[in-house]
């Protein structure tokens, strides 16, 4: 197997693992709700980002592209 095929296989396997894992990362935003004199009321809200799904999908697509391009050169 050529190096392009091995790289494509690795990318596809990593992509499938990341899709199975999911992997949500969160970031928190802080919002000022009210300010009365020296007293402040703040609200923190967590926002989930599906990093595993995005990166997994990109790895699978990249693996397919590498596999197709390496098989056409042969």
Domain ranges within the chain, ordered by starting residue: 3-73
- CA-only gyration radius of the chain, Å: 21
Helices 3-21, 51-73: axis angle to 10 degrees equals 160
Ranges of the chain with pLDDT below 70: 1, 73-74
Task: Tell me how far apart the alpha carbons of residues 74 and 54 are, in angstroms, rounded to a whole number.
Answer: 31
pLDDT score at 72:
75
pLDDT score at 73:
62
pLDDT score at 21:
78
Q: Cβ neighbours of residue 26 under 8 Å, at least 6 residues apart?
A: 46, 47, 48, 49
pLDDT score at 25:
79
Q: Has this prediction a pTM greater than 0.75?
A: no
């Amino acid at each position: 197997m050529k190096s392009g095929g091995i790289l494509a296989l690795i990318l596809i396997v990593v992509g499938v693992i990341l899709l199975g894992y999911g992997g949500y990362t969160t970031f928190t935003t802080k919002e000022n709700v009210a300010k009365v004199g020296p007293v402040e009321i703040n609200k923190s809200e967590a926002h989930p980002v599906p990093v595993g799904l995005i990166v997994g999908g990109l790895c699978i697509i990249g693996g397919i592209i590498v596999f197709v391009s390496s098989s056409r050169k042969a």
